[in-house]
Chain A
Amino acid sequence: MSVTGERSWTGRVREHAVAALPPEKLLPDKQPSYVASWIYVFGVLSLASLAVIIGSGTILTLKGPQWWHFTGVGHFFNSLHLWSVELFFFFMVIHLWGKYWMAAWRGGRARVWVTGAITFLVAIPCALTGYVSQQNFDAQWISTQAKDAMNSAGIGAFFNLTNFGQMYSFHVLLLPAAVVAIVVAHILLVRKHGVVPPLEWREMAAKARSPERTESSP
């Protein structure tokens, strides 16, 4: 607080953040009983594979291409990075299927769904720029073929797949930063709104069978 008694912007941000996410909501130690199902595990599995992607990717960046091509340990970390990406998409898509079929946008959770969808859409070019950065003949083929796709979409001048420097930079910095930022927003929103309760099929079926209809119902 300043001498005049006015709150600074940091104070306002802090109060707003604590009001939206008090510590017991940010780091809960309890969960609803309906979360006791394996389908709820795929979110955290996606997160865990993302952590391995970022970790192995960081080590690959630090050590450089000669290490990951020409040493055994480097080759192992290269493979770790690839397979953690495969698992990330495997788990994330199953997480998406679960959330779609349980209509997880209910109860004011539209932004949770939207941030999840955007994460998926941003992760795809993040993975594809990785494929283009492999520095092998496969990557060369992908870049020359996909260049046609980008040109046909009209963005070839801005997103040049045969420009290795641009593709590698997108893959190492820009797109992972975007994925992580959106995932953080996604998780904070899940913490704020809580896990969506399951659809109440029995009640919905009973209502549909009921002959009584209110005036407001269609």
Chain B
Amino acid sequence: MAAIFNLNHPAHTVHWHFFQMSVSNIVVIVLMLAVFVIAILAPFPGHRQGGGGS
């Protein structure tokens, strides 16, 4: 199957003491943290800043 990136090789891994994780796994975790922060900080359409509860 044609792929844009060569997928037929072992994953690049990060080793640090006991910590061992593939680079792609680290990228996904960093992405999740970024999405979490953006979800909290990004303005929501139609929401009035400092608006009270119902």
Query: A residues within 8 Å of B by Cβ?
Result: 30, 32-34, 36-39, 41-42, 90, 93-94, 97-98, 197
CB pair B32–A98 under 8 Å, yes or no, is no
Task: Determine which of B39, B47, B53 lies in contact with A94 in the assembled complex, contact meaning CB atoms within 8 Å.
Answer: B39
Give the secondary structure class of A's interface: helix
Cβ-defined contact, A38 with B38, below 8 A = yes
Question: Are the C-beta atoms of B44 and A98 separated by less than 8 Å?
Answer: no
Cβ of B2 < 8 Å from any Cβ of A?
no
Report if B4 contacts A (CB, 8 A): no
A42 in contact with B39 (CB, 8 Å): yes
CA A34 – CA B47 in complex, angstroms? 9
Instruction: Give the residues in chain A near B54, CB-CB below 8 Å.
Output: 30, 32-33
Closest 9 CB pairs of A and B: A36-B47, A38-B39, A39-B39, A32-B54, A36-B44, A34-B53, A94-B36, A37-B44, A39-B40
* Central interface residue in A37, A38, A93, by most chain B CB within 10 Å: A38
Using A90-B28, A90-B32, A93-B32 as known contacts, say yes or no to A33 and B52 having CB atoms under 8 A apart.
Answer: yes
Residue numbers in A under 8 Å from B28 (CB-CB) = 90
Known: A37-B40, A38-B39. 9 other contacts (CB 8 A): A30-B54, A33-B47, A36-B46, A39-B39, A41-B39, A90-B32, A94-B35, A94-B36, A98-B36
- State which of A33, A36, A94 has its C-beta within 8 Å of the C-beta of B32: A94
A80 to B47, CA, bound (A): 34
